[in-house]
Amino acid sequence: MLDHGALDHTNSDSTQALRHRMRHSAAHVMADAVLRLFPEAKMGIGPPTQDGFYYDFDVSRPFTPEDLESIEALMRETIAAQQTFKREEISRNDAQSMFSDQPYKLEIIEDLPDETTLSIYRHGEFIDLCQGPHVDGTADIQAVKLLNIAGAYWRGDEKRPMLQRIYGTAWESQEALDDYLHRLEEAERRDHRTLGRQLGLFSIHEEIGPGLIVWHPKGGIVRSLVEDYWREIHFRHDYNIVYSPHIGRAQLWQTSGHLSHYRESMYAPLEVDEQEYFLKPMNCPFHIMVYRSSLRSYRELPLRIAELGTVYRYERSGVLHGLMRVRGFTQDDAHIFCLPEQVEGEVGGVLDLTFELLDAFGFAEFSISLSTRPESYAGELDMWEHATESLRRALEERHLTYDIDEGGGAFYGPKIDIKIEDALGREWQCTTVQFDFNLPERFDLNFMDADGGRSRPYMVHRAILGSLERFLGVLIEHYAGAFPLWLAPTQAMVIPIADRHQEYADSVKEQLESEGYRVEVDGRSERMNLKIRNAQLQKIPYMLVVGDREQEDGAVAVRTREGGNLGAISVRELLERLAGELT
Domain range summary for the chain, segments of one domain joined by +? 4-189, 213-244+280-478, 492-582
d(CA 170, CA 176): 9
Please identify which of the residues 130, 165, 284, 434 carries the catalytic annotation: 284
d(CA 29, CA 126): 8
Please identify which of the residues 42, 313, 373, 470 carries the catalytic annotation: 313
Please identify which of the residues 83, 102, 164, 331 carries the catalytic annotation: 331
Q: Give helix 13-37 / helix 65-80 axis angle, nearest 10°.
A: 110
105 counts as catalytic: no
Q: Is 567 exposed, middle or buried (0-12, 13-18, 19+ CB in 10 A)?
A: exposed
430 counts as catalytic: no
The average pLDDT across 530-549 equals 96
478 counts as catalytic: no
Residue 139: strand, helix, or coil = helix
Q: Is the pLDDT of residue 12 over 90?
A: no
CATH class name, domain 4-189: alpha beta
The average pLDDT across 142-158 equals 92
- Average of per-residue pLDDT values in the chain: 94
pLDDT digits (tens, 9 = 90+) for 297-318: 999 999 999 999 999 999 988 7
b/e 414-453 (16+ beta carbons within 10 angstroms → b): bbbbbbbbbeeebebebbbbbbbbbbbebbebbbeeeeee
Please identify which of the residues 190, 258, 415, 539 carries the catalytic annotation: 415
Q: At residue 177, what is the residue type? A: L
The answer as to CATH 3.30.930.10 being correct for domain 213-244+280-478 is yes
Instruction: Please report which confidence band the pLDDT of residue 465 belongs to, taking 50, 70 and 90 as the band edges.
Output: very high
415 counts as catalytic: yes
The residues, ordered by sequence, that sit 6+ positions from 459 with a Cβ below 8 Å of its Cβ are 335, 336, 337, 435, 436, 437, 439, 440, 445
284 counts as catalytic: yes
Instruction: Please report which confidence band the pLDDT of residue 583 belongs to, taking 50, 70 and 90 as the band edges.
Output: confident
Same CATH topology for 4-189 and 213-244+280-478: the answer is: no
Q: Is the pLDDT of residue 5 over 80?
A: no
Please identify which of the residues 56, 58, 128, 333 carries the catalytic annotation: 333
Give the percent of the chain with pLDDT over 90: 92
CB of 320 within 8 A of CB of 327?
Answer: yes
Distance from chain centroid for Cα 68? 30
461 counts as catalytic: yes
Q: Is the pLDDT of residue 4 over 60?
A: no
pLDDT digits (tens, 9 = 90+) for 95-147: 999 999 999 999 999 999 988 999 999 999 999 999 999 999 999 999 999 99
Please identify which of the residues 21, 134, 287, 461 carries the catalytic annotation: 461
292 counts as catalytic: no
CATH class name, domain 492-582: alpha beta
Q: Is the pLDDT of residue 250 over 50?
A: yes
d(CA 6, CA 430): 14
